[in-house]
Amino acid sequence: MFLTTEQQKMLDGEHGHAIAKLTHLIVKIGEVNGATRLIPIKNAQIAGVSYLTVGEPIFSFFNMLSEDNVKVSVPSWLNPAGMDMKKWKEMGIKNDFAEKQRRIIKQYQEMGIQTTLTCTPYLIGYKPKFGDHLAWSESSAVSIANAYYGARTNREGGPSSLASAIIGFTADYGLHKKENRVPRIVVDVKATINHFSDFSALGYWYGEKFHGIIPYFKSVKNANIDQVKMLGAAMAASGSVAHFHIAKHTPEAEKVDLSHISETVTFDESDKKQIYNHFNQIKERVNLVVIGCPHSSLEDVKLIDSSLGDKSIKEGIKFWVFSSQKLMQNDEAKKLLTNLEEKGVKIFTDTCMVVSPVVRENYKNILTNSAKAAFYLTRDGTNKVTLLSLSEIIEGVSE
């Protein structure tokens, strides 16, 4: 691989042992993937925050970094943690977990990383620009950055995005190169796609069938950010799909090279139904509703409020919505939260149903409108999850 004089110095240890290791890591990942150079990144989004997902080993790694007093060199922000940083007790998080979680966040903060604790940085002002090179690691955010904004990022891991945030470079391979961003499969969407859960079902269906292959969706009528984030998240979860195009909606779709299409498939009502049937598992009473995978926007929260109208959530059922701290801070949001709390809807920030231990541990029968959440919550077989549209959920759990 070609390295600039400065990059070579980093690799040779002139900026310390930790920088040398992290540079080595990025260079090696690049070499294995055929990269011939490193490219600067605009910013980084770093996963590996929840104590549930990183466990004790992260502390050894932090020790190595703090010995050299390492800081990030580009704007960087964090994925969700394992708990709401303020309302963790209300969630049922134990003291020991909370203490470990706070330690992890503090360590990241000391490296100069913003503690946004969200999987949707693009909803809180960090919108990537067309053509920007990034090192993002949350799989749904990666797919939105590529598809909806036309920025360029591979699906990084927690460690590689952190390494890139610190050294300021990533290796030039995969989705950083135009030729690797072309679609291979056309999906003709014949089924009606209205609800967020429909977008999620479409994504889940595609990812499961065509692992890792970039699709080109046609006949999709609406594709706003809240709809596309459901589609992208589900596809990334079921099939590690990190980029996609939607005709007439996503920025690369119009000019993209369609000469590599090898197959056209249709997504019809029966395919949609098959996904809803797969996640139709609750046989007993519902314990918990979880909304906000990916994190809810303010519009999402308003929709919950307007769908509920004058009704409240039934006794014995918990209704949890996950979002980011920053979105829930302004006066309009605060008023909305108070209003929703009175109706039995609880908004937690900084965390989600997937990375917090309490949802899986404490609630058996869970309703959601996100196929990604359904996928992760049912993976080890202890929880039963049913996927429904938001309006169906609210109809069923309110009175």
No. of helices (H) and no. of strands (E), the chain? 16, 14
- Among all chains, which residue has been given the structure tokens 């609406």? 222
Q: Which residue in the set 57, 309, 316, 381 belongs to the binding site for other proteins (CB under 8 A)?
A: 57
| Rounded distance between C-alpha atoms, residue 167 and residue 73, angstroms | 6
Is residue 163 within the footprint of other proteins (CB under 8 A)?
yes
Write down the least CB distance from residue 209 to other proteins, Å: 19
Write down the least CB distance from residue 278 to other proteins, Å: 22
Q: Which residue in the set 61, 112, 190, 218 belongs to the binding site for other proteins (CB under 8 A)?
A: 61
Helix (H) or strand (E) run with residue 8 in it: helix 5-11
Q: Which residue in the set 1, 3, 13, 53 belongs to the binding site for other proteins (CB under 8 A)?
A: 53
105 close to 115: Cβ distance less than 8 angstroms: yes
Is residue 159 within the footprint of other proteins (CB under 8 A)?
yes
Q: Which residue in the set 47, 144, 147, 166 belongs to the binding site for other proteins (CB under 8 A)?
A: 47
| Rounded distance between C-alpha atoms, residue 361 and residue 210, angstroms | 32
| Rounded distance between C-alpha atoms, residue 379 and residue 88, angstroms | 24
| Rounded distance between C-alpha atoms, residue 387 and residue 375, angstroms | 10
Part of the chain binding other proteins (CB under 8 A), chosen from 58-66, 127-135, 327-335, 362-370: 58-66
Whichever of 81 and 387 has its CB closer to other proteins, that residue is: 81
Part of the chain binding other proteins (CB under 8 A), chosen from 150-158, 214-222, 245-253, 256-264: 150-158
Site string for other proteins, 3-22 (x = CB under 8 A): ------------------x-
158 close to 234: Cβ distance less than 8 angstroms: no
316 close to 285: Cβ distance less than 8 angstroms: yes
Residues interacting with other proteins, by CB under 8 A?
21, 24-25, 28-29, 32, 47-48, 53-58, 60-61, 63-64, 137, 156-160, 163
